[in-house]
Structure 1
Amino acid sequence: MSRMRKNNTLAKWIANSAFILIAFIALFPLLSLIISSFRPSSELMRNGISFSINWSELSLRNYIHIFTDSPSYWQWYGNSLIISTLTIVLSLFFSSMVGYALAVYKFRGRNLLFLFVLVIIMIPFEILMLPLYQLMINLNVINTYTGVMLPLIVAPIAVFFFRQYAMGLPTELMDSARIDGCTEYGIFFRIMAPLMLPSFSAMAILQGLNSWNNFLWPLLVIRSNDLFTLPIGLATLLTPYGNNYDTLIAGSVMTIIPIIILFIFFQRYFVAGLASGSVKG
């Protein structure tokens, strides 16, 4: 018995060591970026981003520059926060309703609609980009927040995920609510939506990441510097006439903060939501 315990302890120690090594390898680029954000621009120009540390050269000058001399950066930051927050809220609202309807209601053409969702998931965004851009022109929403958010509000991957999760919900609760006189909207918002909280948490993180890091679509839709999002704004710092590395590197580190906050806020249900949504149905 003691020998089995020793083998289990050794196996756990090996597994933990392997996971720590993998985590360090995954975090290595991020650690290099954070260290480089404290280096002066001249050092970055000479050596680039590296993990070698010269403690005498590290300072807060890059971050001081962002907070005092880079008003455009905070404007881009605010634009990204507004667009990402609205995209998350609207996407969770509409995508959950569509996925829920495809899962619990039986109507003609339901499977065909779900097939369309799967097909759209498999089509690369680059193929849909030009038709979507023409649609935004026709709707007169070019160079607006609406033009950036509209294609992401009902995301096919979110619809698929919510549909898979909703298929595991107990339909007996719906029947009981109908007997009590509850409307279909009341059933969803008051009974089913609270049961779907893990799926909402998982999709909030994934949709937040997608919106926050989105570069190509905002680049097509937005034409005004005042409406630039962070990925576009930071890209403008690299020009043939000079590279503003002090703002670029430190600003890139600052962009990680909202994603970390988002994950901390929703991580309680994140793994459970992904696991349930991937196997139900």
Structure 2
Amino acid sequence: MARILHHSRRAFVKYIILTLLALLYLVPLYALTLAAFRPGRDLLRYGITLKTLIPTDLHISTFKGLYTIRDGIYITWFGNSLLLMLLQTSLALFLSSFVAYGLSLYHFKGRKVVTTLVIFLMLVPIQILILPLYKLMITVKLIDTFWGVFLPMIVSPFAIFFFKQYIDGVPRDLIDAGRVDGLNEYAIFFRIVVPIMPPAFSAMAIFMSMQSWNNFLWPLIVLRTGEKFTLPIGLNTLLTPYGNNYDLLIIGALAATLPIIIVFIFFQRYFIAGLTSGGVKG
């Protein structure tokens, strides 16, 4: 009985701590939501205080201006970011998992070298690769195109390593049974390996979606035309030496959080399972 009470107290304390941490992390989003219904200068003038967290003096008039910026270009920016996120995430999940399948199940000469290079590339900052990638995009004439934005990012070293760790834990009896039944390697991948990888795909989908959606530096270098800008670049154009439109900037930033929240809600069922399974072999 005493052990049960002790366990219950520990669980209660744990839930209280986790609830407080969750509330702490939600405060900035809550403050941003309230700031979207107030003059933009108020958030910069007063910051986040108990007074500013009280939902008073709210209005929605600024929301109308958001969708009339330069004849509705905000919708174009939003659509560009959404398109690039879907393309980059889906292709990165497919190609990275395919590469990881080969590294995990095939024992070929140089396999350890390739795996080491994948780990090494995880440690290389993207800033170091920007200049050679930029020269490559000029050579293949992909500057100011969506192809130039997402093609260099569709194979992620981190995703390859993550998927490899996950596939290493797949029972080899399943793979051998598929080969005995006459399945080729493509069929084994799509009919045996992929159906048991939703947790890993879900975890990586959240990570890759956030990476694509928040990507600022590389699209800024590649894109030239305003109609092709992604949302982070477009919102940045609201800050100029001649004046900063904080009203539209704050509302635009709030709207920009919605796709990532939706992605997380959609995949959160498998998120924790994918992280733990991908990090433990066996």
How would you bin the TM-score normalised by the shorter chain? over 0.9
Equivalent in the alignment of 1:263: 264
In the aligned structure 2, how far is the partner of 1:79 from the partner of 1:177?
Answer: 41
Larger deviation: 91-100 or 34-43?
34-43
Larger deviation: 178-187 or 77-86?
178-187
Q: How do 1:1-281 and structure 2 match up within 5 A?
A: 1=1, 3-41=2-40, 43-44=42-43, 46-47=45-46, 52-53=51-52, 55-69=55-69, 71-280=72-281
In the aligned structure 2, how far is the partner of 1:68 from the partner of 1:147?
Answer: 29
In the aligned structure 2, how far is the partner of 1:51 from the partner of 1:78?
Answer: 36
In the aligned structure 2, how far is the partner of 1:90 from the partner of 1:96?
Answer: 10
Percentage identity across paired residues of the two chains: 49
Q: Deviation at 1:73? A: 0.8
Amino acid aligned to 2:33: I
> Contact between 2:41 and 2:247, CA under 8 Å: does it hold in 1?
no
Q: What CA deviation, in whole Å up to 9, does each residue of 1:130-156 have, x standing for no partner?
A: 111111111111111111101210000
> Contact between 2:40 and 2:250, CA under 8 Å: does it hold in 1?
no
SS in 2 for 1:149: helix
In the aligned structure 2, how far is the partner of 1:56 from the partner of 1:200?
Answer: 42
SS in 1 for 2:112: helix
The CA RMSD over aligned residues, in Å, is 1.8
When the two structures are aligned, how many residues end up with a matched partner? Answer: 280
TM-score by length of 1: 0.94
Q: What CA deviation, in whole Å up to 9, does each residue of 1:188-219 have, x standing for no partner?
A: 11111111121111111100010000111111
In the aligned structure 2, how far is the partner of 1:130 from the partner of 1:50?
Answer: 43
Task: Name stretches of at least 5 consecutive residues in structure 2 with no aligned partner.
Answer: none
Q: Deviation at 1:72? A: 1.2
> Contact between 2:77 and 2:227, CA under 8 Å: does it hold in 1?
yes
SS in 2 for 1:127: helix
Larger deviation: 128-137 or 172-181?
172-181
SS in 1 for 2:142: coil
Larger deviation: 94-103 or 134-143?
134-143
> Contact between 2:34 and 2:55, CA under 8 Å: does it hold in 1?
no
Q: Deviation at 1:177? A: 1.9
Larger deviation: 33-42 or 48-57?
48-57
> Contact between 1:73 and 1:233, CA under 8 Å: does it hold in 2?
yes
Q: Deviation at 1:62? A: 2.0
TM-score by length of 2: 0.93
Larger deviation: 81-90 or 132-141?
132-141
Change (3 A) 1:45 1:17: closer
